[in-house]
Amino acid sequence: MNKTRCTIVRVAFAALVATVLATVHGVQAQPGPQRANFVRLVVPEADTVQATSGFYRLSAGTVPGNHLTLNGAPLKVYPSGATAGLLPLNVGENLFTLTATSPRGDSVSKSFLVIRLRPPETTPDSVLAIDTIMSEPSQELWLNEGDRLDLQFKGTPGCKASNDLGIPMTEVPPAYTGGLGGVYRGVYMVRDGDTLSLRRIRFRLESPAGAVAETLSRGAVSIRCNDFPYIGVTKGDRPALAYGLGEDRLGGAKMSFINPGIRLAITGRKGAMYRAALAPGHEAWIAVANVDLIPKGARLPAALTENWVVYGDAKYDYVTVAIPLRLPYSSSTETSPTRINVDVYGATSNTNWIIQQLTTKEVTNVYYTEPSAGVFRITIELRHRQIWGYEIGYNPAGLVIKVRRQPEKLKIKALTFALDAGHGGENLGALGSTGVFEKDINLAVVRELKSILEDRGARVVLTRESDADLTMGDRVRKVVSSGADLLISVHSNSVGLTTNPDNTRGTATFYKHVCYRPLALAIVKQVLKTGVPLFGNVGSFNFSLNAPTELPNVLVEMAFVSNPQDEMMLTDPEFRHRIAQRIVDGVDDFLDSCDE
């Protein structure tokens, strides 16, 4: 999965690409006396790197059969020549030297430097200063009535802190700051009628002797109680509503992907995200880049729902809800009984009838409830235990939920599979100690899967057939527009930079929507038969290719390429064939379970 460090590594590995590809395709380089000795540093990703924690991942390799030491201490070397571990770091510079010694006794070394940054320290009393670090607000803020404005800066302890908004600030006891002195904080709850035109806040620190230091906050603040809400309209490809402002590597937890052209009431901003008020007690965050603000006076996102028509055509069932404005929505699924719930925010019922044609084949019943003010919930009950996908969108008359039917023949030969080989091109994915790239392993397994499925008579669509870099949006678009029945994403896992790669291994499947859990579970149970241990079946996974509701989908993280034992499996063509076969066996089990 790991994407972050790819570009740095690319240069360092350019010379090794030939070796890597040879390994991936099973053409192992020939061992022999003529083979040059080498030591290959994979992680850290450069000769000099910086760290903030006390540990850094080590992944490195040498010629199989060599002896490896780190600063003179022997390392465990796997039969592949791989080694992996965790480097303990002192604050400041840590110089490491890896030395590979061949059975003939010739040695080659590689040195690298890991600089552990000094953690923030209390400013000495002798210096009157305000540090630039830890200053809050750190991003542009638009605040509304009831929002909290947190002020913070770090400076010389024992002084008097103030700011040009007149918000009281106090020095926090070091027991509440991890031992750091001189951290000053203030809090203000925005009140009705407050205004502040966008600007940075001036902090002031006065020493007991009367000396003064001043600085500006990093982020600018605007208070707009009298002006909110602004009216926004979504734009771009599958804009996402997020629950909050999480910033981990998968992005904030997603509530729902929605369409362009949807109207939102914007009541705040933090950095690159707008806050949208969906309904009383319901809010979501959306990227500023996905919203156009439109002039005041345009209709706010609130509307009465009108009448429904429920019908089927040759391929799909439809639930259409007439509504005069495109409102935001989110959806969820239930498995027992099988239901799709679509919550439309800002909608209030004036639905006085629901026309149900007798042409639906999957939808058995529909109705609505209003679980809270401004939340109009459409519930769709289905015939089968398994949900095979649904798509939510708008046409000029209103909301349309297109429901896929269970395939008539639950056989691999009757289905279309979308296969996604993770990463590609400059996006190398995770890195193995022998210098293997995740992107190559993924593609090799996807090719195995394709061949097994096609031999079984299935139609197969690949998001990428070669070493190409595609965006997540491109991948999702390709999958959904292909009309595939099932999506399998193939990746190889990695630990992060502060975890010991030697201790974490195993296979995992991932799903987001609970209705697609049976597919993930069936596959992981079969994959375990390859002998790779279990890492887990992981739900609520906030990954772009687990987000589509349009078809059952699963992400398979086959094993940890960062773990030398798992890496030996992943670079073995025979294992790659077996795991592909087991994934297909899992699909067979899933299809059988749908029939019960």
Residues that bind Zn ion (CB under 5 A): 1, 422, 429, 491
Closer residue to Zn ion (CB): 182 or 429 = 429
Q: How far is the CB of 504 from Zn ion (least distance, A)?
A: 15
Residues 130-160 as b or e (16 or more Cβ within 10 Å = b) = bbeebbbbebbbbbbbebebebbbbbbbebe
Closer residue to Zn ion (CB): 394 or 437 = 437
**8 A C-beta contact, residue 83 and residue 68:** yes
Question: Which uninterrupted H or E stretch holds 254?
Answer: strand 254-257
Residue 406 CA to residue 305 CA, distance in Å, equals 29
Closer residue to Zn ion (CB): 283 or 440 = 440
Query: What separation in angstroms does the CA of 500 have from each of 57, 83, 219?
Result: 6, 11, 37
Q: How far is the CB of 506 from Zn ion (least distance, A)?
A: 15
Q: Which residues, 6 or more positions from 191, have their beta carbon under 8 angstroms from its beta carbon?
A: 145, 225
CA angle 278, 280, 283 (to 5 degrees): 40
**Burial of residue 189 (number of CB atoms within 10 Å: 0-12, 13-18, 19+):** exposed
Q: How far is the CB of 15 from Zn ion (least distance, A)?
A: 24
Closer residue to Zn ion (CB): 390 or 510 = 510
**8 A C-beta contact, residue 301 and residue 295:** no
**8 A C-beta contact, residue 539 and residue 553:** no
Closer residue to Zn ion (CB): 186 or 429 = 429
Closer residue to Zn ion (CB): 287 or 472 = 472
Q: How far is the CB of 442 from Zn ion (least distance, A)?
A: 7
122 backbone dihedrals φ, ψ, rounded to 5° = -65, 135
Residue 471 CA to residue 427 CA, distance in Å, equals 10
Q: How far is the CB of 157 from Zn ion (least distance, A)?
A: 46
Closer residue to Zn ion (CB): 377 or 491 = 491
Three-class DSSP category at 150:
strand
Q: How far is the CB of 470 from Zn ion (least distance, A)?
A: 13
Q: How far is the CB of 438 from Zn ion (least distance, A)?
A: 5
Closer residue to Zn ion (CB): 250 or 414 = 250
Residues 222, 223, 225, 226, Cα dihedral to 10°: -70
Q: How far is the CB of 536 from Zn ion (least distance, A)?
A: 16
Q: How far is the CB of 25 from Zn ion (least distance, A)?
A: 19
Q: How far is the CB of 20 from Zn ion (least distance, A)?
A: 16
Closer residue to Zn ion (CB): 269 or 491 = 491
Strands of 148-154's sheet in order across: 148-154, 183-189, 170-171
Residue by residue, DSSP assigns 124-147 as PTTS--B-STT-B--S-EEE-TT-
Closer residue to Zn ion (CB): 205 or 497 = 497
Closer residue to Zn ion (CB): 420 or 550 = 420
Residue 271 CA to residue 252 CA, distance in Å, equals 14
**8 A C-beta contact, residue 347 and residue 371:** no
Residue by residue, DSSP assigns 357-407 as -TT-SSEEEEEEEEEETTEEEEEEEESSSS---EEEEEETTEEEEEEEPPP
**8 A C-beta contact, residue 506 and residue 535:** yes
Q: How far is the CB of 518 from Zn ion (least distance, A)?
A: 23
Q: What is the DSSP letter of 174?
A: G
Q: How far is the CB of 430 from Zn ion (least distance, A)?
A: 6
Alpha carbon 587 to its chain's center: 25
- At residue 518, what is the residue type? P
Closer residue to Zn ion (CB): 172 or 538 = 538
Closer residue to Zn ion (CB): 346 or 429 = 429
**8 A C-beta contact, residue 153 and residue 176:** no
Closer residue to Zn ion (CB): 81 or 422 = 422
- What residues does 143 pair with on adjacent strands? 223
**Burial of residue 500 (number of CB atoms within 10 Å: 0-12, 13-18, 19+):** middle
| Among candidate residues 491, 499, 501, 507, the one with its CA nearest the CA of residue 444 | 491
Q: How far is the CB of 481 from Zn ion (least distance, A)?
A: 23
Q: How far is the CB of 561 from Zn ion (least distance, A)?
A: 9
